[in-house]
Chain A
Amino acid sequence: MTQPTTGVHRSYGAEPAPYDHPSPTTAHEGARSAPPNSPSPAATSTAGVKRARSAPYLFLLPAAVLFALFFALPIGYAIWLSFHKIEVKGLGLGKGARSEVWAGLENYTAALGDSELGASALRIAGYGMIVVPVMLGLALLFALLLDSERVRARSFSRLAIFLPYAVPGVIAALMWGFLYLPDVSPFFYLLDAFGLPQPDLMDGGPLYLAMSNIAVWGGTGFNMIVIYTSLRSLPAEVFEAARLDGCSQLQIALRIKIPMVAPSLVLTFFFSVIATLQVFNEPTTLRPLTNGIPTTWSPLMKVYNDAFTGGNIHAASATAVVLALATFLLSFGLLKASNRRTKQGATR
């Protein structure tokens, strides 16, 4: 168990450090080698100016090194891979028979034309159209209920609804998976008792509902807390005034509270869409319980499958880059749209 800790040091040490004095006692001496910096309002006191120059860079060093090693480098490598392919010479035997050569946009055209990727994109589009509105709708409803003084059992409910956040996606999928199995499930027991037909929840259309339910169950609590926190930070006088003017609780919620927490709704929407694009754990976990889920159900499963089952890391990298670009475009689109809306709201 001591091995990992030493390894951490090793990886820090291996990285070329921009400053030679990372140790606490000499931290301020590093100021001399610091790049010239404009005088900052934070360090106007004469004593602090010099050493305050290098200090922030030293504080940021661990984060910068980790970012370089585990974010920037892998991303760069993935992009590099996506433009290359394996070329086999002759019979593919012996040293040098297989070499990595420039592929141009070949992998990308293949990825975009791949019907499996298209199908998986459509699947998560359908899945996302159920998950995002239902989850955020419930999160907003519960947050508003928690914020209402006439509602009871609030602290119990807040904790209970938040609890799934502490349950790993794999285990959530596993528990729900069993609840979807006709042999084990209480729902099917009841359906059976009343002589009602038993749907197959793990195939076709119902599968979308079954899968969405797991995401809604797992994600509502966290989003509820985000919205509830921003509800609680609103000034109470506004509601007091509205109430004196004869507004009902429902009107206050619809006309005042929801518009005022719009920024946190945008934030939760943003994170939910990203999480939807990246869904992997739940469908992967459910697969052993059914034949209804192909190995390429979601785009990330497709990437995983190409890379590790199919062994084509170049094609998988191109698909992964396409997915990342789609995420970026969607995110910036959402941000822009929400900025425009808030600006309109401000000028009105």
Chain B
Amino acid sequence: MSGLASPPQVRKAAPAAGTTPGASQGPPPTRRVALLPTAALVLGALYCLLPIAWVLVASTKSGADLFSTFTFLPGDGFGDNLADLSAYRDGIYWRWMANSVFYAGLGAVLSTVVSALAGYALAVYRFRGREAFFDTILTGVLMPPVILAIPQYLLMAEAGMTDTYLSVLLPLILSPYGVYLGRIYAEAAIPMELVEAGRMDGAGELRIFLRIAVPMMSPGLVTIFLFQFVAIWNNFLLPFIMLGDDERFPMTVGLFTLLKQGAGQPALYTLVITGALLAIVPLIALFFVIQRFWSLDLLSGAVKS
């Protein structure tokens, strides 16, 4: 883990120690390891890893071991648990997983396209109603999801669209935070001179956007995609309200219903635990892979350091 995570740190340390003359002659105390602060930070890291470590160990235990042996003592039942989970109701768990990948994957792609278009327009053009439009979209952040979800459900019911894939997919495409990030990245990444030069050469506005703006905005667009992917993957309320047929459930709603049944029969606990582990592995893996060429800092809208 520590090997994987080292590259991002180098950036700050290197210029401070190498290029600035003041820092290279800096007093030796800065190089001494501060023990107490390091301990505090590592303690925080362990706290954050604790439930994940627990679920990792617990998923290796059989139903009986779960309640009898010491929590962090691994068992040898992971294969059995996995087989049980896959066999549960003809493998509906994997159906939920596929649904989540579908909702989050397609939803995040569409969301990124919409955010990129809107963010680019807000950053590059001066037009009437620009700030009003931006402010209106941003108020969406303040909307409690339930005040949206109830009428969304009723309106979908009017349209005969509840309990469909679309009823979960469509309302999540527009992300106010995505549009906000899109504008910030476009403002920072696209020099107006390039847009002007494109126009002089006779390129259409859409062509300028696709050929000039999109490549320059791409680190930001990856960020919007990730942000939306996580947001939709983690969403519970909307599918919980919209869907009745568990064939269309995403992972979150599926595991919740499994837990609800399991409350009566602890035999299902091991299934829930194994299911929870498998549900978080893809996202954690995604972040491990992606952070090699993408910085977490982008998530908060930071464009240049």
Contact = CB atoms under 8 A, between A and B. Distances in A.
Size bracket of the A interface: 35 or more
Interface stretch (A68-76, A89-97, A99-107, A112-120): A68-76
Contact of A280 (B7, B145, B272): B145
Interface of B: 1-2, 4-9, 12-13, 16, 20, 22-23, 26-27, 29-34, 37-38, 40-42, 44-52, 54-55, 58, 66-67, 70-72, 102, 106, 110, 113-115, 117-118, 120-122, 124-128, 130, 133, 136-137, 140-148, 150-152, 154-155, 165-166, 169-171, 173-174, 179, 192, 196, 199-200, 202, 204-207, 209, 230, 233-234, 236-237, 241, 251-252, 255-256, 259-260, 262-263, 269, 272-273, 276, 279-280, 283-284, 286-288, 291, 296-297, 299-300, 302, 305
Given A75-B148, A138-B44, A157-B41, A226 B205 contact: no
Contacts of A233: 302, 305
B120 A159 contact: no
A324 B143 contact: yes
Contacts of A281: 236-237, 252
Interface in A281-319: 281, 284-285, 288-289, 300, 303-304, 307-308, 313, 316-317
26 contacts: A8-B166, A25-B204, A40-B125, A45-B196, A48-B196, A55-B205, A59-B117, A66-B173, A67-B174, A71-B174, A74-B150, A78-B148, A141-B44, A142-B41, A160-B49, A166-B283, A171-B279, A183-B67, A185-B71, A186-B72, A230-B302, A240-B20, A285-B256, A308-B241, A323-B146, A327-B143
B30 A150 contact: yes
Interface in A29-83: 35, 37-38, 40-43, 45, 47-48, 51-53, 55-57, 59-60, 62-64, 66-67, 69-71, 73-75, 77-78, 81
A336 to B, nearest CB: 15
A288 B236 contact: no
Contact of A189 (B71, B121, B133, B174): B71
A225 B144 contact: no
B259 A285 contact: yes
A160 B48 contact: yes
A109 interface: no
A171 B96 CA distance: 14
Given A150-B29, A153-B38, 13 more contacts: A7-B166, A25-B204, A51-B204, A70-B171, A74-B148, A74-B155, A77-B154, A167-B52, A179-B54, A232-B305, A278-B146, A300-B145, A316-B150
Contacts of A324: 142-144, 147
A168 B251 contact: yes
B133 A60 contact: yes
A196 interface: no
A57 B280 CA distance: 40
Contacts of B171: 70
A303 B174 contact: no
B144 A3 contact: no
Chain A CB within 10 Å, residue with most, of B47, B48, B52: B48
B272 to A, nearest CB: 7
Given A8-B170, A59-B117, A284-B256, A168 B236 contact: yes
Contact of A77 (B52, B125, B151, B286): B151
Given A168-B236, A184-B71, A225-B300, A62 B9 contact: no
Interface in A148-174: 148-172, 174
Interface in A224-259: 225-226, 228-230, 232-233, 236, 240, 243, 249
Contacts of B272: 174
Contact of A157 (B4, B42, B297): B42
Interface in A201-236: 217, 220-222, 225-226, 228-230, 232-233, 236
A296 B207 CA distance: 53
Contact of A327 (B71, B72, B102, B142): B142
A303 B26 CA distance: 59
A176 interface: yes
User: Which 7 pairs show the lowest CB-CB distances between chains A and B?
Assistant: A40-B126, A59-B121, A160-B45, A186-B71, A155-B5, A74-B151, A66-B174
B145 to A, nearest CB: 6
A159 B154 contact: no
Contacts of B296: 158, 162, 225
A168 B252 CA distance: 7
Interface in A2-29: 3-5, 7-8, 11, 24-25, 27-28
Contacts of B31: 149-150
A232 B34 contact: no
Nearest to B4: A159
Given A67-B140, A157-B44, A150 B37 contact: yes
A330 B15 CA distance: 43
Nearest to A23: B206
A47 B199 contact: yes
Contacts of B38: 145, 151-153
B44 A60 contact: no
A274 interface: yes
